[in-house]
Amino acid sequence: MVGVWRRGLIVLEGDRLRAVGESQEAHNLYPTHTELIEGESLHVISHRVDMRGQTLRWLLGRIDTRRTHYISGELRMGSRFDAPVQDLQLYRPARFSGQVLRLHYARAEDLDRYLGMLVAEGELFVQFWLKESDDPLQLVIEDQAGVEVIPEELRPFL
């Protein structure tokens, strides 16, 4: 289990996050049988990141995406992007509507289409789930206060 979604659970099925619950309209999977098996205990490290003036590519370049990680939060993006219409009731780790990108337990591979978009405002919470046998995690995300950020798209014009 990864998290909760509309009175159901978010689970990792293979390599995709899916919602499981009693409503076929709000969940990707409708269970006929469930079992909860106790596993190894986890240590969760969470870090809040101010994304103003940054891109998701910037964030993913500063975290170890090979480890189990989940990203949640809401961002207002600085450029418009027309995403295909999707069933709004079903669980999706990344959902873009208008200029707002909402992330709910997203992973790096869920963010490919949004990597170059500039964030006008918002913050994210990055969680790492570590097993006792995992190497220690050193999370260093630079504080960009006072640093002028120039989007990659504009650098050729300098």
Strand order in the sheet with 16-20: 3-5, 8-13, 16-20
Q: Are 6 and 52 members of one domain? A: no
pLDDT tens figures, 95-114? 888 889 999 999 999 999 99
Q: Are 122 and 70 members of one domain? A: yes
Q: Are 26 and 51 members of one domain? A: no
Q: Are 110 and 139 members of one domain? A: yes
Q: Are 147 and 94 members of one domain? A: yes
Q: Are 82 and 7 members of one domain? A: no
The count of domains in the chain is 2
pLDDT tens figures, 53-73? 899 999 999 999 999 899 999
Instruction: Work out the average pLDDT over 83-103.
Output: 75
Q: Are 49 and 85 members of one domain? A: yes
- Host domain of residue 9: 1-39
Q: What percent of the chain has pLDDT over 90?
A: 27
